[in-house]
Structure 1
Amino acid sequence: MTPTAPDAVAATRDVHRAADPDQPIWITLLDPAEVADAAARVDPAAPLAGTAVAIKDNLDLAGHPTTAGCPALADRPATSTATAVRRLVDAGAVILGKTNLDQFATGLVGTRSPYGACHSVASAAHVSGGSSSGSAVAVATGLVPLALGTDTAGSGRVPAAFNGIVGVKPTRGLISTAGVLPACASLDCVTTFTRTVAEARPALAALAWADPDDPWSRPAPAQPPAGIATRMRVVAVPDRPLGLDPAHEIAWRAALTRLGAVAAHVVEVDVTAFLDAARLLYEGPWLAARWAAFGQLLEPDGPHLDPTVRDIVRRGRDVPGADVFAGLDRLAALRRRTEPIWSDVDALLLPVTPGHPTLAEVAADPVGVNARLGRFTNFVNLLDLCAVAVPAGQRRDGLPFGVQLIAPAFADAPLLDLAAAWCGEPVADAAADATGSIAVAGATGSLAVAVAGAHLTGLPLNPQLVDLGGRLAYRARTAPGYRLYRLAGPGLPRPGLVRTGDGPAGGIAVEVWQLPHQAVGALLGTVPAPLGLGSVELDDGSRVVGFLAEEHGVRDAVDVSAAGGWRAAVRPVGPGSP
């Protein structure tokens, strides 16, 4: 239920009463009179009417300082409000205050703040995660239902995981960063914290906007890119151990078991290239971007500066220009190595962190512990992906454990649906997502068509489906009993899918595309014999129209069923192949 405006006023009183010096959530709390005045102006029909919101103190709020965790900036009130904050206010939200953070949003621990270190809501001895520490704890403790953070390297997902809440890191540029004190402008994302996926949806809908005043903003495409399915059914997991702490490992194994009840298919993949990309953020030239963003605020040294933040970022001033371009080349190579994975799966499941350190462990090794926390999060913005951190129960010691669902850019809407399924929440049925651009499978005037060969995402004939107005509805496999053949003949290799009754028990990989009715006839006209349309039974027992081969047409064909699908059957083998 959407709160009413007086709820924000009551929340303000609760926040002031609940102030705890051992849990320094807030840097600036708004005066109750200012909150009451804002609440009185809220339109009751607004989508976020009266929702109390906390914002990380690297986002501007007119009339209040943006400290970014640096007390030297506390006497400089902002003259305008960050676009993301303004859009929440325009949607009826009421701002209660500005929250603590790792200084200059540089850290994943939540301890690098002269205003004090937050801790996990489950343990005073364990870190809250950062850099959006205060925002995450404000939601986890029930002070507000919604908070804004930022996530450059994982600063939204790590504190969400450590406090048992939902952290949405959208596609870069989907939410404006105008009015955000930058950490690394090309990678910065405004993120949300909520207790449920359902609470995140209207917030993301209000926040998503192509801002002409933000050079890093970009509009969501009218239709998501071709490989993004409306319904996510195939989830990848790492094909090898991840080196997790023992308590995390046990919780991760439980999460993998849980995934079997959420995803239709779980696929093991090599995540080495993703993890190699993650190391670039602090071991590569991107430190120079932080120095460019706020390096001038790190001189001269003084008690207002966190020594770890200063030491890390000052290394960026000496990065040679040649190293920057070498880093970009390395990132491009790693991105190319990851791309084939997204042709076969909808999302990737990973733990958010390898472990959950104590405040004492961070104090003993502030750089090393922090670096390890970013192992599974640092690559997401570098590789232009979106992600949602979701709770995955508790470790045996009672600490929250979180996982993240990761997908390509502009897959935000179906990824939220997958996150909702993970959390046991209803999946949205609306025809429009947070970006205003999702097509519903089974829409009027369209037909679901299964393809098994060169029309698959990323293969040579896939552009035909896109040009005909098609949209990938979901990835699937056939029911058992189908075989796949490589048909003889010149030109582009062609597949022949035949139900022989003795095919692989796991079926054959297919994609189901939603095509306008008139497009189906046009497509059929491009398909030569012995292929034609017929009924294909899928792994879930449903039936769709699909391209099948006549049995007499595969007598001289090569049986490639053992590959499990056409993409694997035609994939090059040898040096340089993915």
Structure 2
Amino acid sequence: MSTTLARVRAAHARIEAVDRPEIWIGLRPPEAVEAEARALDARVAAGEHLPLAGRLLAVKGNIDVAGMPTTAGCPAYAYEPEADAPVVARLRAAGALVLGTTNLDQFATGLVGTRSPYGAVRGAHDPRRISGGSSSGSAVAVALGIADLALGTDTAGSGRVPAAFNGIVGLKPTRGLVSTLGVVPACASLDCVTVFARTLREAEQALAHMVSAPGRPLPARAPGPWRIAVPAPDGLGELDPGWAEAYEAAVRQVSAAGAELRTIDLAPFTEAAAMLYEGAFVAERYTAVGSFVDKSLAEGGEGLDPTVADIITRARDIPAHRLHADTDRLGALRARALAALADADALLLPTAPGHPTLAEVAADPLGANARLGRFTNSTNLFDLAAVAVPAGEVNGLPFGVMLIGPAFTDERLAAVAGLLRPDTYVAVAGAHLTGQPLNPHLLALGAVLDRTTTTAPVYRLHALRTDPPKPGLVHAGGDGSAIEVEVWRLPAAGLGGLLAGLPRPMTLGSVALADGCSVPGFLCEPSALVDAEDITAYGGWRAYLAR
């Protein structure tokens, strides 16, 4: 079986296993996806360079995918796009394969993930809690190991809040770097297409293919360590229990990694954040879809989320003089904010102040949503770039932080974000592969797939007589071959947990990879190879199983 085809079938099995139908608005027919998978593998085998070959992609339902209706979370709004949005086309040209379109807060209006006639998208780690919105389905599809990459949009934080709640990475690029053509607008002047991934490396790789506009040269940076701005201890406002401590731990981590800290006043950021929905800027949401909402309400409003409809229709009558006044005030706040960041490479903040339950959001939909945008709402208003990354757990649930910086500092922010997650990797070649029986053990330890690759050509693979069936990888020197492996990234404590539960004859040792680096990986005691079939010629465990 081809590599991409195996990954597609594993993804469809995962969709069935997790039983989260609210993630999706539409899935492409399995036969069409499998046919595309075979074609991708054939192109790679023929020597074509496809950097994202085999990466499975989910697309937020307000972004055009040819052959699928674009609904923006409202069935009555649906239309059939004639072509992929440019950002989708770019990723597909690099080899990514679209699984389907994902659920969202209707018309991308919300940070909660519950404002949809397709159902509230529940959190990946605790179904009693919200997933975060508006790019809810995209984030959960990645967090649950179905998709490798997912597209979202971010006007107020929709590409970052869901990342934080689900323990994944969310990159919000500088406005204008990624085309928003083929995207149903929320606030057209502020919208950004974003990407979710389980690792920073994967997200960066995808973003490199998504970019359609050139960046601009950055001012020369004074030499020295990274300079990170942080608010004063009392500057964050009320946070959920344990979140202040988790944030302080992230600050200590970047400091221990050599960064210099700068204390700044967060007031201009939080004051501007409140203006996004409470001020006149919300009028742009009416410009985007207001006439449709008005017409739909006049006909009964079937399929409209009442909270979304109320937000959009209330924006209809905002006077022009208020917009000009708010624009002037925003300009003054932006000047203060950029002055505060003048000698810093990035601002480090919690991505959100807390993670509410579905019941809490239902009880106070507007208040809960407003609270979630405290740290994210100002980013696009100030024309800044951002990246949201995992930074530990609070009470067993993901906690995330984000790094914010001036426009076109996207690569710099990703480099700084690397300080927060020391890399621990493990290579697996058999029953722990994606879709195989022991893969849930890796996921339970917090592991995320980094890449699929091969070993250096110095190993042999044997089919062991174990239950469940698994292979034994052994170093054979010049008599060896390259064997397909997956490299997984996991917390340092997770590696210890993996080793503690490792049954004989498996061992953990250093595995040499095709790119010349070595990582810990599963090997096998030579004594277990007696009567074990040598399956090296298949090139990997999945190919052997599909023989």
State whether TM-score is above 0.5: yes
1:94-105 aligned within 5 A: 94-105=97-108
Letter in 2 for 1:342: L
Pair 1:250 & 2:254 matched = no
Query: Cα gap change, 1:33/1:381 in structure 2, threshold over 3 Å: closer, same or farther?
Result: same
For 1:48, the equivalent position in structure 2 comes to 52
For 1:449, the equivalent position in structure 2 comes to none
1:334-413 aligned within 5 A: 334-395=333-394, 397-413=395-411
Partners of 2:126 and 2:11 in 1: how far apart? 25
1:213-252 aligned within 5 A: 219-221=214-216, 223-224=217-218, 226=219, 233-241=226-234, 242=236, 243-252=238-247
For 1:24, the equivalent position in structure 2 comes to 22
Partners of 2:11 and 2:338 in 1: how far apart? 47
1:539-578 aligned within 5 A: none
Partners of 1:366 and 1:157 in 2: how far apart? 19
Q: Pick the aligned partner of 2:290 from 290, 295, 299.
A: 295
* Count of equivalent residues: 411
Look up the SS of the partner of 1:53 in the other structure: strand
1:165-244 aligned within 5 A: 165-210=168-213, 219-221=214-216, 223-224=217-218, 226=219, 233-241=226-234, 242=236, 243-244=238-239
Q: What's the CA shift string for 1:477-522, capped at 9, x where partnerless?
A: xxxxxxxxxxxxxxxxxxxxxxxxxxxxxxxxxxxxxxxxxxxxxx
Look up the SS of the partner of 1:98 in the other structure: strand
Shift of 1:37: 2.7
Partners of 2:223 and 2:157 in 1: how far apart? 26
For 2:314, the equivalent position in structure 1 comes to 315
Query: Cα gap change, 1:144/1:265 in structure 2, threshold over 3 Å: closer, same or farther?
Result: same
Query: Cα gap change, 1:309/1:250 in structure 2, threshold over 3 Å: closer, same or farther?
Result: same
For 1:149, the equivalent position in structure 2 comes to 152
Pair 1:92 & 2:85 matched = no
Partners of 1:277 and 1:227 in 2: how far apart? 28
Q: Pick the aligned partner of 2:263 from 268, 271, 285.
A: 268
Partners of 1:349 and 1:152 in 2: how far apart? 19
Partners of 1:338 and 1:209 in 2: how far apart? 28
For 2:76, the equivalent position in structure 1 comes to 72
Q: What's the CA shift string for 1:168-214, capped at 9, x where partnerless?
A: 0010111100000000011101111111111112101100112xxxx
Which of the pair has more CA radius of gyration? 1
Segments of structure 2 that go 5 or more residues without pairing to the other structure are 425-547
- 1:237, 1:268 within 8 Å by CA — same for their partners in 2? yes
Partners of 2:225 and 2:406 in 1: how far apart? 12
Segments of structure 1 that go 5 or more residues without pairing to the other structure are 211-218, 427-578
Letter in 2 for 1:71: P
For 2:12, the equivalent position in structure 1 comes to 13
Q: What's the CA shift string for 1:288-316, capped at 9, x where partnerless?
A: 10000111221222230000001011111
Partners of 1:11 and 1:314 in 2: how far apart? 44
Partners of 1:403 and 1:196 in 2: how far apart? 14
For 2:456, the equivalent position in structure 1 comes to none
For 1:286, the equivalent position in structure 2 comes to 281
Look up the SS of the partner of 2:280 in the other structure: coil
Pair 1:259 & 2:263 matched = no
Letter in 2 for 1:29: L
Letter in 2 for 1:373: L
For 2:62, the equivalent position in structure 1 comes to 58
For 2:542, the equivalent position in structure 1 comes to none
Give the structure-2-normalised TM-score.
0.73
Look up the SS of the partner of 1:125 in the other structure: coil
Partners of 2:223 and 2:32 in 1: how far apart? 43
Q: What's the CA shift string for 1:259-317, capped at 9, x where partnerless?
A: 22234211111111111111111111111100001112212222300000010111111
For 2:126, the equivalent position in structure 1 comes to 123
For 1:106, the equivalent position in structure 2 comes to 109
For 2:533, the equivalent position in structure 1 comes to none
Partners of 1:250 and 1:421 in 2: how far apart? 18
Query: Cα gap change, 1:339/1:416 in structure 2, threshold over 3 Å: closer, same or farther?
Result: same
Q: What's the CA shift string for 1:195-246, capped at 9, x where partnerless?
A: 1111112101100112xxxxxxxx312x22x155798611010014212122
Look up the SS of the partner of 1:77 in the other structure: coil
Look up the SS of the partner of 1:286 in the other structure: helix
- 1:147, 1:194 within 8 Å by CA — same for their partners in 2? yes
Shift of 1:257: 2.1
For 2:529, the equivalent position in structure 1 comes to none
- 1:197, 1:425 within 8 Å by CA — same for their partners in 2? no
Query: Cα gap change, 1:88/1:282 in structure 2, threshold over 3 Å: closer, same or farther?
Result: same
Partners of 2:341 and 2:249 in 1: how far apart? 25
1:450-469 aligned within 5 A: none
- 2:168, 2:196 within 8 Å by CA — same for their partners in 1? yes
Look up the SS of the partner of 2:342 in the other structure: helix
Query: Cα gap change, 1:107/1:267 in structure 2, threshold over 3 Å: closer, same or farther?
Result: same
Partners of 1:232 and 1:406 in 2: how far apart? 17
Pair 1:34 & 2:32 matched = yes
Query: Cα gap change, 1:229/1:193 in structure 2, threshold over 3 Å: closer, same or farther?
Result: farther
- 2:11, 2:147 within 8 Å by CA — same for their partners in 1? no
Partners of 1:230 and 1:143 in 2: how far apart? 42
Partners of 1:200 and 1:160 in 2: how far apart? 12
- 2:56, 2:99 within 8 Å by CA — same for their partners in 1? yes
Partners of 1:409 and 1:166 in 2: how far apart? 19
- 2:134, 2:158 within 8 Å by CA — same for their partners in 1? yes
Look up the SS of the partner of 2:387 in the other structure: strand
Shift of 1:339: 1.9
Q: Pick the aligned partner of 2:163 from 160, 170, 174.
A: 160
The CA RMSD measured in Å over matched residues stands at: 1.8
For 1:432, the equivalent position in structure 2 comes to none
Partners of 1:8 and 1:401 in 2: how far apart? 29
Q: Which moved more, 1:10-19 or 1:82-91?
A: 10-19
Look up the SS of the partner of 2:178 in the other structure: coil
Partners of 2:16 and 2:123 in 1: how far apart? 20
Letter in 2 for 1:388: V
- 1:4, 1:51 within 8 Å by CA — same for their partners in 2? no
Shift of 1:372: 0.5
Query: Cα gap change, 1:73/1:14 in structure 2, threshold over 3 Å: closer, same or farther?
Result: farther
Partners of 1:376 and 1:422 in 2: how far apart? 19
Partners of 1:143 and 1:209 in 2: how far apart? 27
Letter in 2 for 1:206: H
Percent identity between the two aligned chains? 55
For 1:447, the equivalent position in structure 2 comes to none
Look up the SS of the partner of 1:162 in the other structure: helix
Letter in 2 for 1:279: A
Q: What's the CA shift string for 1:538-570, capped at 9, x where partnerless?
A: xxxxxxxxxxxxxxxxxxxxxxxxxxxxxxxxx
Shift of 1:11: 4.1
Runs of at least 4 residues off by over 4 Å: 227-232
Give the structure-1-normalised TM-score.
0.69
